[in-house]
Chains A and B, each alone.
Chain A
C-alpha cells in the first residue's frame, strides 16, 4: 500500500511536473514577448486581392444588395466592420468622421453581430460616418472578408482590396489612407 502510494506520487511528479513547468515557461515566454511589443496596431497590407462576392441586407431596412452593386462606382471605398459593443470602435470613430469629408472616398459600414437599437444609439451618440450601412447579424459576411474581429477596415478600389487594417485606426494609418486616396 505504502509502496503503491509512493509510485503514484512518483508518477504524478514524473509526468505532471515537467508538463506544468513547460506550460508555465510557455506562458512566461508569451507574456515576455508581448511585453516588448508595442501596443500600436500594425496593419497588414493585402495588395490586389479581389473582394468577395456576397449578398447582404441593408441596415435598418429589408433591402438586399450584392457586393457588385455596393462597390460599383469608380471611387475609393472604405469598408469598416464595427459594432456598438466594441470599445476600440469608439476610439477610431473620429478618424472615420474625418475621412467622411473626403469626397473621393465612400465609407461603407458593416455592422457586426449587433442589435439594431444599440447600433442606432451608437450612431446617434457619435454621429454617422457611413454613406451605407450593411447588416451582418450572424457574422458570416465578416468571415467572407476574412476578418478576425472588430474593428477591421478595408480600402477598396476597382473591386480590389488595396489595404487591410486589423484593429482600430490610428493617426498614421489615417494619414496613409488620405495619401492613398489622393
Chain B
C-alpha cells in the first residue's frame, strides 16, 4: 500500500512539473509580479515527493518484500535504524533522496527570494524544473524504487554489512544536501545570466546558498572519511578512491566559487569566474553521479553497474552542459569588466592566485580520476592511478597556497602596501625555526618538509594572532583558514608519527618488541540480532607501563553472509590506538594489526572548525540583514 502511494506520488510530481513549466512561461510573458500559483505548485510537488519518500521508508520498515528495492536491500532481522537508513543506502532510494533535496531547495529558494526580481525568480524555477524533470524521468524509467515483485519473496537479501553503520547512515543525506544544493546555484546563475542580473545584490543573495551547500558538502565528506577510517579497517582516512574524488571535486569548485563571489559582492569583478564555477560545481556533482552509478569506473564502493542508467545520466548531463554553454556564450555579458586591471598587491589578486591553485588541484584530481577511462578508450591500455600520483602533484603546491592563504587576507581591496606588517616577518621567522626543530627531532627528509611545515605553521600563527588582535572582524574567514592550517598540520604529524605492528597471534600468545607488548588474552562469541560477533581481548602495554584493553571484532552477518572486521579504536587528544583482527585462513592464528595514529581526532576536529567558519559566515549575514 505504501509502495503504491509512493509510486503514484512520483507521477503526480511529474504532472506538477509540467504545470509549473506552463505557468512559468505564462508568468514570464504576461504579468509584472511573481505568480503565487507557482509557489503553491512547487509546494505541492515537494509534498508529493515527501509522500513518495515516506512511502519507501514505510515499505522498508514493514519489510514489504513485494517491493524490489526493499527485497534487494533489506532483511527482517535487520535493526530498525538500518531498515530506515537502508532506504537511501541503495541506488533507487538515494535517487529519490536527490529528488527530495532538489524540490526542497527550490521551494526554500522561492520563499526566501521574495525581494529578488520576478523574471530572475521564475527563470531559476524553470531551470531547476528542467533538472527535476530529468531526474524524475530517470527515476521512473530506469530505477523505479517501487518496482513490484511477484510472487512476493518471504525474505530479503539484506543490506551490505559495511553500510550498516551510524556514520554511513547519515552520510548520504548530508552529502546530498551539499551536492544537490549546488543545483540551486546552477539554476540561479543561468537565470541571472539570462536576465543580466549578475550584480552585487545577486552575489549577496547567492552567497548564502553557496554557504549552505558548502557546509553540508564539507560535513558530508568528513563523515565519509570517518567511516572509511574505522569501517574499512585500513587505518587511513583518504584513499584517493574515485568515489572520494568525485566528492572532492565539487568541493574544490565550490570553495573557489565562494571566494570569487566575495570579490563579486565587493568589487563586481570576476563575473565570468563566478558563472563558470557555478556551472562547474553542479556539473561536477552530476558527473560524480555518472561515474559512480554507471559502472564506468572500478572502485571499492560503486553502486551496481548498469550501462543503461549510465547512458541516461550521460545524455542528461551533457544536455545540461550544453544548455549552460548556450546561456554563457549568448547571454552572459562581460562588457565593462575587462578594462579593470588588478593591482598586483591586493586582496583580489591574492584571491585570483588562490583560484588558480584551486583549479590546479581540481585538474589533478579530475585527471587522476578520469584519465584511465580516456586511455582505455583511446588506446585500450589499463592503468590504475594511486596515491603517489596525487601526493607528488599536490603536496609541493600546497606551500605557496598556504602562504597566499596567510598573507592574502591581510591585504586591502584594490591596492595595499606592506607598511606596518613587521609581524608578518616575525611570525614567519618563528614558524621557520619551529619547523626546523621539528624536522630535526623527527629525523625526516629535509627541504620540502621544512618549507611545508613552515607554511602551515605560518598560516596557523597568523590566524591565531588575528583571533586576539582583530576580534570579530573577519572572524568567519579567520576560523575557516585557522581550521585549514590545523588540518594540514594534523595530517603532517599524523603522517610522520604513525607507527604500526602487524603480527599473527593465537589466543594466549604475547607479542613483544622494544616499545610495546601485545597480549592476546581471550576470545568471546556473542550472538546479535543479525550477526555473530567474535570479539578478541588484547592487553597492549606500551613503554610507560600503561595497559590499554582493545577489543577488535569480527562480525559474521547472516544475510548477506559476509564477514566484516570492526576496528577497536581508543581515542584521546594526542593519538588514536587502532586495532583490527582478521582470520588467517585454515589456522588458529589471527592476523593482528595495531596502529598508533597521532592527532587523528584533530583531523576530524579541524574539518569541523572549517565548516564552522562557513556556518558563522552564514549567520553573520543573516544577522546583518
Report which A residues bind B (CB closer than 8 A): 5, 8-9, 12-13, 16-17, 20-21, 24, 28, 30-37, 39, 41-42, 44, 83, 85-88, 113, 121, 124-125, 148-151, 166-167
Question: Given that A24-B322, A85-B387 are contacting pairs, would A34 and B307 also be in contact in the complex, using a CB cutoff of 8 Å?
Answer: no
Report which B residues bind A (CB closer than 8 A): 239, 241, 290, 294-296, 298, 300, 305, 307, 310-311, 314, 318, 321-322, 325, 329-330, 333-336, 338, 373-374, 376-378, 380-388, 500, 502-504, 582, 591, 593
A24-B318, A36-B307, A85-B386 given; name 8 further pairs at CB < 8 Å: A9-B335, A17-B329, A34-B373, A34-B377, A39-B295, A88-B298, A148-B383, A166-B381
- A-B contacts, 18 of them at CB < 8 A, read A8-B335, A8-B338, A9-B333, A12-B334, A13-B330, A34-B373, A35-B296, A35-B307, A35-B314, A39-B295, A39-B305, A85-B387, A87-B386, A113-B388, A121-B500, A124-B503, A150-B384, A167-B384
User: Chain A nearest CB: distance from B294 CB in Å?
Assistant: 6
Chain B residue at minimum C-beta to C-beta distance from A94: B585
User: Chain A nearest CB: distance from B323 CB in Å?
Assistant: 12
Chain A residue at minimum C-beta to C-beta distance from B585: A127
Number of A-B contacts (CB under 8 A): 95
Question: Given that A5-B335, A21-B325, A34-B376 are contacting pairs, would A166 and B382 also be in contact in the complex, using a CB cutoff of 8 Å?
Answer: yes
For residue B381, which residues in chain A have a CB less than 8 angstroms away from its CB?
148, 166
* Bound CA–CA A149/B503 (angstroms): 30
Main SS class of interface, B: mixed
A86 contacts B384, CB within 8 Å? yes
User: Chain B nearest CB: distance from A135 CB in Å?
Assistant: 16
* Bound CA–CA A148/B298 (angstroms): 17
For residue B310, which residues in chain A have a CB less than 8 angstroms away from its CB?
35
Closest 3 CB pairs of A and B: A167-B382, A149-B383, A5-B335
For residue B383, which residues in chain A have a CB less than 8 angstroms away from its CB?
148-149
B325 contacts A24, CB within 8 Å? yes
* Bound CA–CA A166/B290 (angstroms): 26
B380 contacts A42, CB within 8 Å? yes
User: Chain A nearest CB: distance from B83 CB in Å?
Assistant: 31
For residue A28, which residues in chain B have a CB less than 8 angstroms away from its CB?
314, 318
* Bound CA–CA A37/B380 (angstroms): 10
A121 contacts B384, CB within 8 Å? no
User: Chain A nearest CB: distance from B574 CB in Å?
Assistant: 22
* Bound CA–CA A150/B385 (angstroms): 9
For residue A35, which residues in chain B have a CB less than 8 angstroms away from its CB?
294-296, 307, 310-311, 314
User: Chain A nearest CB: distance from B318 CB in Å?
Assistant: 5
For residue A8, which residues in chain B have a CB less than 8 angstroms away from its CB?
335, 338
Which of B290, B336, B374, B377 has the most C-beta atoms of chain A within 10 angstroms of its own C-beta?
B377
Chain A residue at minimum C-beta to C-beta distance from B295: A39
* Bound CA–CA A39/B500 (angstroms): 35
